[in-house]
Amino acid sequence: MNGPILPGARLGVLGSGQLGRMFAIAARRMGYRVEVFSPDRDSPTGQVADAEVVAPYDDLDAVTAFARRVDALTFEFENVPAATAAAAAEHTRVRPSGHVLHVTQQRAREKSFVAALGLPVTPFALVDDEVALGPALARVGCPAVLKSARFGYDGKGQVAIASLDAAVSAFRALGSQPCVLEQFVDFRLEVSVVAARGEDGSFAHYGVVENRHARHILDVTIAPANVSDAVRRSAVDITRAVLDGLDVVGVLCVEFFLDADDRLLINELAPRPHNSGHFTVDACVTSQFEQQVRATCGLPLGSTRQLAPAVMVNLLGDLWTAGEPDWAALCAFPQVKLHLYGKHEARPGRKMGHATAMAGTPEEALQAATQARTALTAGRFADTR
């Protein structure tokens, strides 16, 4: 730690999607300059950054030049090549470290790391080839889920299986690449904890939130989740153990399954701000993105106090099927905040934005958020005050 990086400095972002966009907005509000590096031009992050560098992640000369221009660098997604992170780290402060990315960008390494910490994780077995499928199934049992070790998100790269023959077919369908076989978990809730860790080891979290999915894509986040105090304490304790174990400096999300017996099982880690933490932009004293700025720059972490119960709903490209959504109809809900990501093409399943509602109770916030989203395509404009 070489002292804090103060406002006026230049911060770099590898990756240019909506997470980088919201990081850049938070950083610029605090007085930082922001530059983004990715293969895409006029990207969601590039639209709000001071400079947009367009180059492949494996162009290490371009990465080196970019790193030399910024005072610190962070990531908006974890699938940046390890060589890219290493090249950048030779010239600037990189948060989180390349080690964190190395562990979390590959499911086999991630699962093995979490298990080695003694934390509760979905029962799993590593599968490097077809020969390993039989022993893996014998260990994990059926039903199970076969997941590619790399580049899986929003349900991509995974197949449910119920037999060895199905496992072989699934392994081939996934390209016969290294996979993780996980026991199917009959969970009652999916929950997550977004947290931050500073360079001094300080820790701040946003509590336990409930996540509801549709087509394997996050659809709704309810904050706070309706779980017991014991579950809340356990989820936060586990999350802190993960951040400490990885020596994270930055923001990380731990996704859990919660079963009928109130047992938590770690499903996945995301070493960055997370979709389930978007509610913090409107509902918390310090958003997950400002927290990322603070941690990256070596500043004290901010308060995570939640101002009101909140619900976030994703706005997917499906809403554009019949034309431009009715934004005025959504904005007629005075307790609902609209966030659009500046993406040029709406496709089914693509995250184009989100909306967050705040109310006196989570149930009231859920009703407002879902009604506002429905109004986008209902062809109506109602005064809901």
Helix (H, G, I), strand (E, B) or coil at 212: strand
pLDDT value, residue 285: 98
Task: Measure the CA dihedral 201/204/208/214, to 10°.
Answer: -90
pLDDT value, residue 384: 45
Structural tokens at position 363: 């149930």
Task: Measure the CA dihedral 271/204/279/207, to 10°.
Answer: 100
Instruction: Please tell me the CATH code under which domain 187-378 is placed.
Output: 3.30.470.20
Structural tokens at position 65: 């030049």
Q: Are strands 93-94 and 33-38 parallel, antiparallel or unpaired?
A: unpaired
Q: Do domains 123-183 and 187-378 have the same CATH topology?
A: no
CB atoms within 10 A of CB 373: 25
Q: Say whether domain 123-183 belongs to CATH 3.10.20.310.
A: no
Topology of domain 10-94, per CATH? Rossmann fold (3.40.50)
pLDDT value, residue 308: 98
pLDDT value, residue 161: 85
| pTM for the structure as a whole | 0.93
pLDDT value, residue 207: 98
Domain ranges of the chain: 10-94, 123-183, 187-378
pLDDT value, residue 151: 64
Q: What are phi and psi of 316, to 5 degrees?
A: -95, 165
SS3 content of the chain, % helix, strand, coil (to 5): 35, 30, 40
pLDDT value, residue 248: 98
The answer to whether residues 84 and 102 touch, using CB atoms and an 8 Å cutoff, is: no
Positive or negative: CA dihedral 63, 64, 65, 67: positive
Q: State the Cα–Cα distance between residues 258 and 210, nearest whole angstrom.
A: 10
Q: State the Cα–Cα distance between residues 318 and 341, nearest whole angstrom.
A: 15
N- to C-terminal Cα distance for the chain? 50
Residues contacting 80, CB < 8 A, separation 6+: 14, 15, 57, 101, 105
Q: Are strands 51-54 and 33-38 parallel, antiparallel or unpaired?
A: parallel
pLDDT value, residue 190: 97
pLDDT value, residue 382: 45
Residues contacting 25, CB < 8 A, separation 6+: 48, 289
pLDDT value, residue 11: 98
Which residues in the chain come in under a pLDDT of 50? 380-385
pLDDT value, residue 232: 98
- H-helix or E-strand spanning residue 62: helix 60-69
What would you report as the CA-atom Rg of the chain, rounded to the nearest whole angstrom?
A: 21
pLDDT value, residue 281: 98
pLDDT value, residue 156: 67
pLDDT value, residue 152: 58
Q: Are strands 203-214 and 187-197 parallel, antiparallel or unpaired?
A: antiparallel
